[in-house]
Amino acid sequence: MNCDNPGGYPSEVFVSASFKTTDRNIVKFNTVYLVQKDKNTIFTYNGDDNYRSGKTISNLGFEPSADNIIWAAIDSKHFGIVRRERLKGQFTNGEKKTFEMDVIEVNDKTVSEMKKLFDI
């Protein structure tokens, strides 16, 4: 977590998260970042040792009612972003959820362009 006034991680709901791109390719990450825009906070979630063998990032906690996005680096030129509308709705604790990510090319983008892409 990164903030000036540390608090706990979001705990309204916990899901076992996996990720795919909008063209249905499964992507695996060692680390994903949950941005809670309304609290100006970034939470870091790391995959466990089993994640490399195909398991998901377990216990990804978030608040579906908050203004959230999830992002991760796919490679040195592309980020994947789970947009806020895909993080809204009804989720059940412990649910296995595959989130759809938009792939964004970030090569040679300015800070202003990146902020626009991330909608911040």
Number of domains in the chain: 1
pLDDT at residue 111 is higher than 90: no
Judge contact between 72 and 79, C-beta under 8 A: yes
Q: Is residue 110 part of a domain?
A: yes
pLDDT at residue 50 is higher than 80: no
Q: Is residue 19 part of a domain?
A: yes
Q: Is residue 100 part of a domain?
A: yes
**pLDDT of amino acid 62:** 92
pTM here is: 0.83
- Give the structural domain span for 111: 13-115
Query: What percent of the chain lies above the pLDDT cut of 90?
Result: 31
Q: Which residue has the tokens 């983008």?
A: 109
Q: Is residue 104 part of a domain?
A: yes
The pLDDT confidence band at residue 48, using thresholds 50, 70 and 90, is low
**pLDDT of amino acid 107:** 84
Q: Is residue 83 part of a domain?
A: yes
- Whole-number Å distance between alpha carbons of 88 and 66: 8
| CATH, residue 39 | 2.60.40
Q: Is residue 109 part of a domain?
A: yes
The pLDDT confidence band at residue 13, using thresholds 50, 70 and 90, is very high
DSSP 2: B
Query: What percent of the chain lies above the pLDDT cut of 70?
Result: 86
DSSP 24: S
Q: Is residue 94 part of a domain?
A: yes
Q: Is residue 3 part of a domain?
A: no
Task: Write the pLDDT tens digit of every residue in 54-88.
Answer: 556 878 999 999 999 999 988 889 999 999 999 99
